[in-house]
Amino acid sequence: MCWHGGPRVLRLFSGLLASVAVARHLGPENFGVLCFATMIASLWAGLVQLGSLEVVTRTSAVAPEKITGLLRSAFRLRLTGAALAGVLILAMPLWFGHKAVYWILAVFPLTLVPDCVEAAFYGQNRFRAMAPLRAASSLLGLVLRLGLVFFGAPMEAFAAATIFEGLLTGLLFLGFRHELPSSNNTKASGDGYLLMRQSLPLVASGMVVAAMLKLDQFLLQTMRPGADVGHYYVVVRLFEMAGVLIPSLVAALLPDLARLYSVSVADYRKKMELIYQRTYQFGLAAALVSCAFAPWGIPLIFGKEYAASVPIFMAYSFTFPSFVVGSIRAMEFVVMNKNQNHMLVAALLLPLQIILCFVGIHWFGPLGLAAAMAIVAFISTTLFSMALPPLKTSGELQKAALRKILRWN
């Protein structure tokens, strides 16, 4: 776990330092433009999941003899997805302007293609092999961004820094792919069909869910463009730093839980109940600490120019418990091969989310939007799990975890 989480913690802090420096340098309006463009690129980059990392990790854990053909197929599918995503990102300036930023970021999906090598190592529980590579790329990315700030670079340069860091990481992964188990008997075509079939629900649900998670940013950009977007993005980027770490830590649990589920469903349920319990406790504690931190921490870190971000940060803090619980539930869907449940949740939640976010922005601006997102996140990950029959297993585990926390009879 330390070898898996350590580089993510480093990336968390290096990303935080870089975001602080860039936000201070660019100011709220330009920082908002850069963050919004990066978000759009990341959203379309979900097409790279045609070669799903979760499927690669799970298959590597239970069938290591298939790794050779699996990676070959994953590369092909991920390259196809990266090409489609790149074309779509190139078209974004037609709506949002800032052509140079989007054209640079069109390369971003390509940098994610080699991530399947890392996923295969994770399936083998070989976290130590990848840790130095992630750490090196994070540090170099931080140094590059600080250098750009020092020399007064425009926002386009920071978009290019994102591409540089991604390409460096991808090249490092490719250099280590030969250390994985190999087999001459694996047929890439067969693996490719299976991988595509297993990945399509993840791609569809992942992009829909990602779009829902970014809907708040689309609405704010549409209804209140300008400095409000920058103030909101200061908050969002801080929580996205945690978003880098949490799914990575959850992914470290996936191989062992997949094997446990195949051996004993009862033992798997006990383990998941404990994981949900600790997740709720951690999420709520983190939200309270964040609220205490915001009034003095935000102005200290980002400067008085971002004082308007303080109440936004406090409201948005209460999305965090739901976010970490949602990451656990997503892993559970992968283990049980029920990824279609994401689509069900998304379809039911979307109309409610649009209404809550629209009302929040209209009446209270970014602060109202942050509060609306906290409500939406809770409905999605907890209430829906307990109310929707297809999510019955997750709901039962979450109920059991909450009973222990609240000491229900």
* Planar angle of CA 272, 337, 206, nearest 5 degrees: 95
The confidence score (pLDDT) of residue 256 equals 81
The confidence score (pLDDT) of residue 146 equals 95
- Rounded Cα gap, residues 178 and 310, in angstroms: 48
- Cα dist. 45→105, 217, 336 in Å? 10, 17, 25
Contact call for residues 111 and 169 (beta carbons, < 8 A): yes
- Cα dist. 243→56, 248, 274, 316, 327 in Å? 21, 9, 21, 14, 9
The confidence score (pLDDT) of residue 354 equals 93
Arithmetic mean of pLDDT, 389-401: 91
The confidence score (pLDDT) of residue 53 equals 80
- For the four alpha carbons of 277, 271, 118 and 201, in that order, the dihedral sign comes to negative
In this prediction, what percent of the chain has a pLDDT beyond 70? Answer: 91
For 112-164, what is the HEC assignment? CCCHHHHHHHHHCCCHHHHHHHHHHHHHHHHHHHHHHHHCCCCHHHHHHHHHH
Per-residue pLDDT tens digits for 153-198: 999 999 999 999 999 989 988 887 777 766 555 444 446 767 777 7
Give the N- to C-terminal CA distance of the chain in Å, as an integer: 34
- For the four alpha carbons of 34, 39, 44 and 47, in that order, the dihedral sign comes to positive
Query: 123 phi and psi, to 5 degrees?
Result: -60, -25
Q: Which of 88, 123, 134, 67 is nearest to 251 (CA)?
A: 123
For 193-250, what is the HEC assignment? HHHHHHHHHHHHHHHHHHHHHHHHHHHHHHHCCCHHHHHHHHHHHHHHHHHHHHHHHH
The confidence score (pLDDT) of residue 6 equals 63
Query: Torsion angle of alpha carbons 196, 201, 204, 205, nearest 10°?
Result: -150
Per-residue pLDDT tens digits for 248-304: 667 667 778 888 888 888 898 899 899 999 999 999 999 999 999 999 999 998 988
Contact call for residues 15 and 79 (beta carbons, < 8 A): no
- What residue type is assigned to position 40 of the chain? I
Would you say residue 2 has pLDDT above 70? no
The confidence score (pLDDT) of residue 406 equals 85
